[in-house]
Structure 1
Amino acid sequence: MSAAAQHRITRLATLTAVHRAFHWLHLHQPQLRQWQLEMVCIPAPPFAESARAAWFLDRFRHLGLTNIHLDEEGNALAELASPDALPNTPCILLSAHLDTVFPAGTSCEPRQANDSPRIYAPGICDNAAGLTALLGIAAALRYAHITPPIPILFAANVGEEGEGDLRGMRYLFEQGPYRHRIAAALALEGGGTNTTVTRALGSIRLSVTVTGPGGHSWADAGAPNPILILSRILTAVAEIALPTEPLTTLNAGHISGGTSINSIPESATVLLDLRSTDPAHLRIAEAAVRKICDGFLTALATQRPTSSATNIMVQNIGNRPAAVLPDDSSLLETLRAVDRHLTLRTELRLGSTDANLPLSLGIPAMAIGTGGSGGGIHTLQEWYDPTGRETALRRILLTLLDTTQVTAGSHRP
């Protein structure tokens, strides 16, 4: 952390407008809680986030943001613009993902105990907490009449969880109209005050499907059985030697197939999740899985030359790049200065978040906790306690504002 960064943050925190923003955050904790209760009731299963996105567009309009729209991938976007900004002026992205891991039909109704601040609901922490912070920061900036030197792009984005494969971020950074403008990104993720993800855990996700002719368990006995073949493949996959340094993991997370107990199934599928901080080790692990499947397919052709209908297909269904925010990054320098000002301990962590994508492209990014505490993440008993949320929101606000100033200064002609 440099003395210059500390001086900037100390000065920034003394500004009257920043104090007004802090004042809004202090007085409007009930409003934040109400927003969180409203949004968590709106289901946002993977690839079906549109209803929650529409709710966010309405909130953005109510807060008086500009250029409010839904992009082609379904991200709900809005800007807090700088009056002097040109069309290609760099901007800072502040985002929180809309989607949850829970499938359509899951009851999202929040439950509250009269004597406890805890709220129970699927997705209440991951990521209703982050989404609430997104609105809180926008509201505080608008209330304080803060005009950033470069635009802030607010995004309630799709596709962070599971098979969403960061599709919202991929569109923003690879296809959308902002792709050449985003100079830094802060992804608001779950609870916690001190935590920040600056090391992106990479993952490759594979679908392995075995297909066959199927048939009756008695009349067609002896026909290739995809479930049994897949079981043998998984036994071999479990024996793949994976490094512990850097740690590389392989998980079989979901398996399906068959129709009834007395039917030889026509197909069986397993979903595999491979993770590592090293892209090379991910590729090696994926190659090992594919080699096993190719070997079984060759063996099947030799053993049952008449069973040409039997096939093994390996499909890549997800790829999250591994990356890291350099220790000398100005964004990390800003965060450390903010934490020192707020007397917080900076906890840098490894994780798989929306920050993976910009980090892999060399764009400064981090995923930052939005305060309070939570538990039971990705379960039906997920909970969130907003106690102490205000400090984390101040942390985000100061980091965001200083990043706009540093970026604006580095892009002056």
Structure 2
Amino acid sequence: MTTIDQQLLTQLRTYYQAHLEDIIAENIAVCEVAAPPFQELERARYVAHRLQEAGAESVSIDETPNVYAQISGQQPGPTLMVTAHLDTVFPAETDVTVKRVGHELHAPGIWDDSAGLAALIQLVKGLRALQTPLRGRLLIVATAGEEGLGDLRGMKQAFKCFGSEIDMVIAIDTHFGMITHTGIASRRLQVGVSAAGGHSWEDFGAASAIHVMGHMISDIARLEVPADPRTSYNVGVISGGTSVNTIASHAEMLIDMRSTDAQCLADLERQVRLILQRHSEQGRSG
């Protein structure tokens, strides 16, 4: 069992309360470096630069692109990895300028996870400013590919690099003021439907990829999942079609499934795949 150093905790709390404006400024600066899905490199470079300025050791960026840094302890002890993710869900053309309204900051991604990245940087600054002696090693990782179809590639890469060395992990990601100690398993599917398509008048009755997908979504929406273990699903993105008078020949959707129980997640995925297969077998996919 790890004992919390209450004296150090009090020192850190006092330090960060005195440097609140610095933390806010850091949050704003991170947010205003855009990091759309699969385009995190510019923000990775910014975070690496700030970690180096804060006094972190061995700062580097890999091809993922993850940012790695560390603080070595003066005594033997465990390795703690603290992470936050670089990417946001917003496309490249999104205006990420932060607006400050009273005590609130408003901008896409200001919370998820610019605040987490700012916390990583300020964690290093606080520990260095207080000249805090550590046992073991503090490993700082800013990960790529957390959102959407990123498939947690950054976190997977971090564990590929350091997995056997890591004793504990803390991920800083939204919901400040609470601690989540239960792992949530997730599964995401990218589904494409192709059909004959045609003209809405001349070819009326021909299979439409959008109509097929509509049937799939309707059946998925009727699935019942347990509240305990908590399980969820969502069709978050749909696209397809050419024009209002064209029978769609192609459509796509993204499905997100989650559960605190691996078996419940597997059962949900099986049911979703059965729905997709059933509509395909019925010939609705053309």
Task: Give deviations 1:358-413, integer Å, cap 9, x for gaps.
Answer: xxxxxxxxxxxxxxxxxxxxxxxxxxxxxxxxxxxxxxxxxxxxxxxxxxxxxxxx
Select the residue among 180, 183, 186 that pairs with 2:170: 186
User: What is the match of residue 70 of structure 1?
Assistant: 61
Aligned ranges 1:190-205 → 2 under 5 Å: 190-193=174-177, 195-205=178-188
Change in 2 beyond 3 A, CA 1:244/1:197: closer
User: What is the match of residue 236 of structure 2?
Assistant: 253
Aligned length: 286
Select the residue among 133, 137, 143 that pairs with 1:157: 143
Select the residue among 85, 90, 113 that pairs with 1:102: 90
User: Helix, strand or coil: the match of 1:196?
Assistant: coil
Select the residue among 23, 40, 45 that pairs with 1:49: 40
Per the TM alignment, residue 191 of structure 1 is displaced from its structure 2 partner at its CA by 4.8
Q: What is the one-letter code of the residue matched to 1:106?
A: T
User: Helix, strand or coil: the match of 2:191?
Assistant: strand
Quote the Cα distance in structure 1 between the aligned partners of 2:11 and 2:253. 53
Change in 2 beyond 3 A, CA 1:20/1:248: closer
Q: What is the one-letter code of the residue matched to 1:295?
A: R
**Preserved CA contact (<8 Å) 2:37 2:87:** yes
Q: Which runs of 5+ in 1 are unaligned?
A: 302-309, 312-413
Q: Which runs of 5+ in 2 are unaligned?
A: none
User: Helix, strand or coil: the match of 2:135?
Assistant: coil
User: Helix, strand or coil: the match of 2:179?
Assistant: strand
User: What is the match of residue 132 of structure 1?
Assistant: 118
Moved over 6 A (4+): none
Task: Give deviations 1:322-371, integer Å, cap 9, x for gaps.
Answer: xxxxxxxxxxxxxxxxxxxxxxxxxxxxxxxxxxxxxxxxxxxxxxxxxx
User: What is the match of residue 26 of structure 1?
Assistant: 17
Task: Give deviations 1:256-311, integer Å, cap 9, x for gaps.
Answer: 1101112121211222222222211211121112222222222218xxxxxxxx56
Select the residue among 117, 122, 127 that pairs with 2:108: 122
- With CA pairs under 8 Å and 6+ residues apart, which has the higher RCO, 1 or 2? 1
Q: Does 1:291 align with 2:274?
A: yes
Q: Does 1:240 align with 2:223?
A: yes
When normalised by structure 2's length, the TM-score is 0.90
**Preserved CA contact (<8 Å) 1:80 1:147:** no
Aligned ranges 1:2-401 → 2 under 5 Å: 8-9=3-4, 12-14=5-7, 21-82=12-73, 91-113=79-101, 116-173=102-159, 175-176=160-161, 178-193=162-177, 195-300=178-283, 310=285
**Preserved CA contact (<8 Å) 2:75 2:134:** no
Q: Which segment drifts farther, 213-222 or 279-288? A: 213-222
Residue identity (%): 33
When normalised by structure 1's length, the TM-score is 0.64
Q: What is the one-letter code of the residue matched to 1:122?
A: P
Change in 2 beyond 3 A, CA 1:92/1:292: same
RMSD over aligned Cα atoms:
2.4
Quote the Cα distance in structure 2 between the aligned partners of 1:109 and 1:24. 28
